[in-house]
């Protein structure tokens, strides 16, 4: 297995599905399909740089805690590294490494001149005060100061982080180098060079991809029944935009449970409710409570997992009733489950395509920042739509042309473009 080169630092139970092993399996499958040179495959299977730093933080009660912060840079053949920063208790080095690799293929698939990276700290941000989170973010940034930068590696928000953390990162980096450097992060507030449309971008991208897939299946978005796991940045934006486009969002969930309404939930009201209730959706209106497990197996047209990895596994794949699964989260469907779903004819829109809207608008934010010209939201959304629809069409064509499933089609496009660039650049020295 290619991934054996990465140290296994985590406790691994027999049920543990290693995201890095899965990422390598997808890479190997794409390499086989493309008949890739073995040397190129060997290079692409290893992250270029793996950094783990200690983050000592003084808690509000005076105690000092030392956290581990990771940043993995997978491949910068096409341009600077790019990738989110995740704050979640389940963060591990192998997970961050897998997500960094995914970012490489995602950027290449979308035609964006970036390489893949990812960062993360294993904390539950809900258990830390705003002041503590600021101290953690600033120290993490400071420890990574030599490894990030607008031409080197550009962090963005991911699970558990938002524009607020990006502003702290941008400020810490800028203070350390002695001048303002907005381009060191994307997904930052508009007041310091963020892009209009960035906050909703991943959810908007999901909406475009779902719309295209339904159209290809001869169905309209209007009236389509949709279930969404996760009501954070991505899930809530996708829910709102799908609702506005006329779809019926019949169920949503968060880590503390979900809700269901046969006639479709009032998503704007639900968003307002969640904002007032510390992001909880439980107890909203007349909706019926539903578990996360039951949400996944609801009869619906489209299922959108927008929370964590490994939610659809061999245990529940055969109970999934949706016709289309759009992977808004990274890696929500395991490799084995993916095969079972494909065998049943369920259309699985892979993460490197379905959730690419965020990195697309991050790229547009970076372009605006570098040119000191800022666009209105309409233009940003139009550029996003064009890139997402183009990538969707290319994946469909590749799938048809090679007679391969959508995920493999997306990987062959992403991996193939990086491999081509690596071949053209050659191996140094």
CA distance 239 to 172: 34
Is 306 an interacting residue with respect to ligand NAD (CB under 6 A)? Answer: yes
Q: Which residue of 182, 235, 350, 416 would you call a contact of ligand NAD, by CB under 6 A?
A: 235
**Of 11-19, 152-160, 173-181, 296-304: span binding ligand NAD (CB under 6 A):** 152-160
Tokens read off for 405: 């499933």
HEC per residue, 307-353? CCCCCECCCCHHHCCCCEEECCCCCCECHHHHHHHHHCCCEEECHHH
Rounded Cα distance between 69 and 121, Å, is: 5
Assess 307 for contact with ligand NAD (CB under 6 A): yes
β-bridge pairing 81-87 and 153-157: parallel
Closest contact distance (angstroms) between CB of 161 and ligand NAD is: 8
String marking each residue 199-218 x if it binds ligand NAD according to CB under 6 A = ---x----------------
Here the tokens at position 144 are 């990574």
- CB-based burial label for 146 (10 Å; 0-12, 13-18, 19+): exposed
CB-nearer residue toward ligand NAD: 51 or 329: 329
Kindly tell me which of 158 and 171 has the beta carbon lying closer to ligand NAD.
158
Q: Using the rule CB under 6 A, which residue among 22, 186, 195, 292 binds ligand NAD?
A: 292
Catalytic position from the list 82, 106, 118, 188 = 118
Among 328, 346, 347, 395, binds ligand NAD (CB under 6 A): 328
Please give the helix or strand (H or E) that residue 364 lies within, else none: helix 357-371
Piece in contact with ligand NAD (CB under 6 A), picked from 65-73, 151-159, 212-220, 400-408: 151-159
Cβ-based nearer residue to ligand NAD, 234 or 322:
234
Query: By three-state DSSP, how is residue 266 classified?
Result: coil
Residue facing ligand NAD at closest CB distance: 232
Q: Using CB under 6 A, which residues numbered 19 to 78 contact ligand NAD?
A: none
Interface with ligand NAD by CB under 6 A: which range of 1-9, 17-25, 169-177, 226-234?
226-234
Q: Is 229 in the site for ligand NAD (CB under 6 A)?
A: yes
Whether residue 329 contacts residue 253, with contact meaning beta carbons closer than 8 Å, is answered with no
Burial of 247 (0-12, 13-18, 19+ CB in 10 A): buried
367 exposure class (CB count in 10 Å sphere: 0-12, 13-18, 19+): middle
Selected range binding ligand NAD among 141-149, 249-257, 366-374, 420-428, rule: CB under 6 A: 249-257
Instruction: Please report whether residue 232 would count as binding ligand NAD according to CB under 6 A.
Output: yes
Q: Please report whether residue 158 would count as binding ligand NAD according to CB under 6 A.
A: yes
Write out the two tokens for 149.
């930068």
Burial of 420 (0-12, 13-18, 19+ CB in 10 A): middle
Is there a contact between 105 and 415 (Cβ–Cβ < 8 Å)? yes
Q: According to the binding rule CB under 6 A, does residue 116 interact with ligand NAD?
A: no
The burial of 143, by beta-carbon neighbours within 10 Å (0-12 exposed, 13-18 middle, 19 or more buried), is given as middle
Is there binding between residue 329 and ligand NAD (CB under 6 A)? yes
**Cis status, amide bond into 373, omega within 30 of 0:** no
Q: How far is the CB of 304 from ligand NAD (least distance, A)?
A: 10
Q: List the one residue from 155, 358, 414, 416 that touches ligand NAD (CB under 6 A).
A: 358
* Residue 234 lies near ligand NAD (rule: CB under 6 A): yes
**Which residue among 175, 308, 336, 421 contacts ligand NAD (CB under 6 A)?**
308
Catalytic site includes residue 118 = yes
The helix or strand, by DSSP H or E, that contains position 229, with its residue range, turns out to be strand 225-229
Backbone angles phi, psi at 331, to 5 degrees: 65, 35
Kindly tell me which of 24 and 290 has the beta carbon lying closer to ligand NAD: 290
Q: How far is the CB of 202 from ligand NAD (least distance, A)?
A: 4
Taking the complex as a whole, the smallest distance from the CB of residue 429 to ligand NAD amounts, in Å, to: 36
Which range touches ligand NAD (CB under 6 A), out of 31-39, 233-241, 367-375, 417-425? 233-241
C-beta of 208: minimal distance to ligand NAD in Å?
Answer: 14
Is residue 166 at the binding interface for ligand NAD, with CB under 6 A as the rule?
Answer: no
Q: Does 355 bind ligand NAD (CB under 6 A)?
A: yes
CA distance 362 to 194: 9
Minimum CB distance to ligand NAD, residue 36 (Å): 26
Pairing of strands 81-87, 347-349: unpaired
Residue 353 in tokens? 């395509």
Catalytic residue ranges: 118
Interface contacts to ligand NAD, rule CB under 6 A: 157-160, 202, 229-235, 253-255, 292, 306-308, 328-330, 355, 358
């Amino acid at each position: 297995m290619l991934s054996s080169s990465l140290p296994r630092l985590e406790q691994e139970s027999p049920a543990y599905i290693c995201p890095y092993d899965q990422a390598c399996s997808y890479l190997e499958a794409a390499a086989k399909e493309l008949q890739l040179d073995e040397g190129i495959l060997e290079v692409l299977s290893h992250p270029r740089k793996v950094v783990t730093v200690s983050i000592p933080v003084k808690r509000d009660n005076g105690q000092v805690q030392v956290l581990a912060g990771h940043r993995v840079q997978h491949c910068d053949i096409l341009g600077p590294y790019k990738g989110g920063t995740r704050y979640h208790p389940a963060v591990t080095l192998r997970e961050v490494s897998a997500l960094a690799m995914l970012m490489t293929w995602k950027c290449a698939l979308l035609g964006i001149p970036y390489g893949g990276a990812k960062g993360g700290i294993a904390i539950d941000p809900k258990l830390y005060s705003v002041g503590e989170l600021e101290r953690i973010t600033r120290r993490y940034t400071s420890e990574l100061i030599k490894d990030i930068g607008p031409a080197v590696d550009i962090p963005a928000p991911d699970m558990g982080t938002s524009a607020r953390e990006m502003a702290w990162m941008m400020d810490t980096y800028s203070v350390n180098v002695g001048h303002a450097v907005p381009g060191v992060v994307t997904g930052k507030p508009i007041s310091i060079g963020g892009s209009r449309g960035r906050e909703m971008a991943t959810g908007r991208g999901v909406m475009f991809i779902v719309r295209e897939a339904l159209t290809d299946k001869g169905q309209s978005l209007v009236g389509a029944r949709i279930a969404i796991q996760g009501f954070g940045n991505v899930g809530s934006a996708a829910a709102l935009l799908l609702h506005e486009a006329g779809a019926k969002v019949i169920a949503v969930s968060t880590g503390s449970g979900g809700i269901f309404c046969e006639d479709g939930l009032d998503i704007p009201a639900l968003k307002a409710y969640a904002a007032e209730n510390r992001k909880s959706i439980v107890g909203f209106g007349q909706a019926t409570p539903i578990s996360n497990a039951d949400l996944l197996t609801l009869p619906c047209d489209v299922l959108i997992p927008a929370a964590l990895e490994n939610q659809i596994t061999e245990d529940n794949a055969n109970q999934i009733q949706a016709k289309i699964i759009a992977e808004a989260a990274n890696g929500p469907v395991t490799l084995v489950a993916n095969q079972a779903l494909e065998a049943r004819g369920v259309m699985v829109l892979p993460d490197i395509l379905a959730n690419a809207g965020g990195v697309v608008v991050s790229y547009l934010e970076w372009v605006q920042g570098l040119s000191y010209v800022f666009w209105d939201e309409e233009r940003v959304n139009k550029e996003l739509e064009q890139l997402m629809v183009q990538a969707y069409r290319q994946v469909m064509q590749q799938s048809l042309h090679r007679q391969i499933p959508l995920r493999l089609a997306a990987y062959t496009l992403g991996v193939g473009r990086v491999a081509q660039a690596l071949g053209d650049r050659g191996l140094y020295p």
